[in-house]
Amino acid sequence: MLVFWKARLVLLAVPKTGSSAYESALAPHASMTVLDPPELKHAPVYRYNRFFRPMFEKMGTPHMELMAVIREPVSWLGSWYRYRQRGFLDGKPTSTRGISFDEFVEAYTRGERPPFANVGSQAKFVEPRPNGTDVSQLFRYENQSGIIAFLEDRLGVALDLPRENVSPRGDLALSPELETKLRRKCAADFEVWERAQG
């Protein structure tokens, strides 16, 4: 999570949407960078609302605008799947080594997900709070030029994004039946991506 106090902007770090690259490029311009623990680095709207918003209000700003980047849901799950293929997870319950992408997505669509498929939900991450706290600047990951243009204009900086935290390549072919099931079970994730600035 990056806080730009003068610009009254908070960039929430949705996992698997290039947040590490934005951190590298923008950290020198940020008033506050939250890099650890992961629960705060990747604070969703509800956690921002609970911990950070009250603190900012006490410091005299009535409103910080929230920005987030979300990824097309199949691509987002593919990034998680490939990330969890990495060697450092071998033998751990969160590893996807030896599991096909179809098996991963099928497990993700279950009511009770096994550890390797328990990766959360982008729709839940950006879900508005009852008090009105919400993401007003929501961009599709696939719209990098729009994201960069917005940040450069808002922050008055020139951005050169590095490639960071890139997962290994893998077969991400998803059976049509399983994609249909995913779209039905996780409709909110597809809906929020459709709403984002693309």
Cα separation of 166 and 79, whole Å? 9
Q: What are the φ and ψ backbone dihedral angles of 181, each rounded to 5 degrees?
A: -65, -45
Under 8 Å between Cβ of 84 and 94: yes
- pLDDT class for 60, splitting at 50, 70, 90? confident
Does 165 score more than 60 pLDDT? no
Q: What are the φ and ψ backbone dihedral angles of 178, each rounded to 5 degrees?
A: -70, -35
Cα separation of 45 and 187, whole Å? 19
| SS3 of residue 98 by DSSP | coil
Residues in the chain: 198
| End-to-end C-alpha distance for the chain, whole angstroms | 22
Cα separation of 109 and 163, whole Å? 30
Mean pLDDT of 87-107: 94
Domain architecture of the chain: domains with CATH: 2-195 (3.40.50)
- pLDDT class for 161, splitting at 50, 70, 90? confident
Q: Which two tokens stand for residue 159?
A: 């951005």
